[in-house]
Structure 1
Amino acid sequence: MNRIVHPIEQESFRRLRARLDTSHFPPLTRAVVERVIHSAADLEYASDLVLAEADLVPAHAALHAGAPVVVDVEMVAAGITRRRTVCRLKDARSGPGLTRSAHAVRLAYEEVGPGALWVIGCAPTALEELLTLDAAPALVIGLPVGFVGAAESKAALRASGLPAVSNVSEKGGSAVAAAALNALLYHPIPSEETL
């Protein structure tokens, strides 16, 4: 199914590309970088994001093959188009040493098992908890926001060696995390001729 792009979105991306040359990025990396920048109107993401095409290619294939998508909060889920997501925050409880977000990650992992795409856009503790599990994710989009724990949780994600999209700074949030996943959703599936 081809996505119909509204003229306002087309013009927005034209203006983005007029301000920033993204042509040197590989295809999926470029798609993620541009969509994240577009979602926040923040060109600094071009140098702040940390991602690798080698991680995005199999994640893109897994996503289009139907791998589950798990999100940390409903706000991330609301921003993801054309895809059902799993969010267990409503079922989660906090306890000593455990935030609701961390408990929600545990509950979601029990539901989906390994191989999911995880989209963390709000809670650093959700990302920290994910890193303690043997989740074998297809991809972790780790873009939580905040001045307490966000940059540190993203550094831990990068150090983990898991396939990931993250950024170096405290910036992030639901909109940019959803945008990164949408970039993979919107990017066309390669035809057998191009494989």
Structure 2
Amino acid sequence: MNRVVHPIEQESFRRLRARLDTSRFPPLTRAVVERVIHSAADLEYASDLVMDEDTLEKAHAALHAGAPVVVDVEMVAAGITRRETVCRLKDAAAGPGLTRSAHAVRLAYEQVGPGALWVIGCAPTALEELLTLDASPALVIGLPVGFVGAAESKAALRESGLPAVSNVSEKGGSAAAAAALNALLYTPLSHSEEKQ
């Protein structure tokens, strides 16, 4: 299934690479860094993102083998156009000590079980809840945004030892999270060829 790249996207990546040398990154890391930067037109992501190539290779294999993709909000799902996703936010309810986003994570885990790729781009509480579950994820893309809890939840993700893509700062969001997943989707299984 070949992806047709629009000329505007090609030119955008050409300009990105003219302003930032991404050739120092290994292939999947480079793909994620470039896609996230492209989603936000923010070159600072090159030094803000935290990931490991071996982890990305395992996640890439799981994704292309059909592992489920769970998202915290529909805005993340909307950005992932080449793969079905699970989002249980509409079915969730807030309760004492539990946000709606955290409840949605519980519901999604009950549905998909272990081994999924989790894409959190909005709610720090969704990421915090995921860390309490025995989800054995193939990957957690933890890029929630905000001034309350976002940086802390991403630090907790990195400290958990789970396979992850995160960033250090408070920035993030649905577009960045979807872009990170799309980087893995769009990169061919033999990712030695560096296509967009």
**Cross-structure match for 1:112:** 112
**Cross-structure match for 1:39:** 39
TM-fit CA distance, 1:103:
0.2
Change (3 A) 1:192 1:25: closer
Deviations 1:117-150 (A, max 9, x none): 0000000000000000000000000000000000
Change (3 A) 1:106 1:193: closer
2:55 is paired with a residue whose SS is helix
Change (3 A) 1:26 1:95: same
**Cross-structure match for 1:166:** 166
Q: 2: CA distance between counterparts of 1:194 and 1:15?
A: 15
Map 1:1-195 onto structure 2 (within 5 A). 1-189=1-189
User: Does the CA-based 8 Å contact 2:120-2:141 persist in structure 1?
Assistant: yes
Gaps of 5+ in 1: none
Identity percentage over the alignment?
90
1:70 is paired with a residue whose SS is strand
Q: 2: CA distance between counterparts of 1:20 and 1:88?
A: 38
1:193 is paired with a residue whose SS is coil
Number of residue pairs matched by the alignment: 194
User: Does the CA-based 8 Å contact 2:187-2:195 persist in structure 1?
Assistant: no
User: Does the CA-based 8 Å contact 2:72-2:121 persist in structure 1?
Assistant: yes
Q: 1: CA distance between counterparts of 2:126 and 2:182?
A: 20
Q: 1: CA distance between counterparts of 2:170 and 2:30?
A: 22
Change (3 A) 1:100 1:55: same
TM-fit CA distance, 1:194:
16
Q: 2: CA distance between counterparts of 1:139 and 1:103?
A: 20
TM-fit CA distance, 1:160:
0.2
TM-fit CA distance, 1:166:
0.2
Q: 2: CA distance between counterparts of 1:181 and 1:192?
A: 18
Deviations 1:49-78 (A, max 9, x none): 000001100100000000000000000000
Q: 1: CA distance between counterparts of 2:47 and 2:104?
A: 31
User: Does the CA-based 8 Å contact 2:92-2:100 persist in structure 1?
Assistant: yes
1:171 is paired with a residue whose SS is coil
Gaps of 5+ in 2: none
TM-fit CA distance, 1:33:
0.2
Q: 1: CA distance between counterparts of 2:193 and 2:15?
A: 33
TM score, norm. by length of structure 1: 0.97
User: Does the CA-based 8 Å contact 2:124-2:149 persist in structure 1?
Assistant: yes
Q: 2: CA distance between counterparts of 1:179 and 1:193?
A: 17
User: Does the CA-based 8 Å contact 2:71-2:86 persist in structure 1?
Assistant: yes
Change (3 A) 1:114 1:45: same
Change (3 A) 1:168 1:193: closer
1:101 is paired with a residue whose SS is helix
TM score, norm. by length of structure 2: 0.96
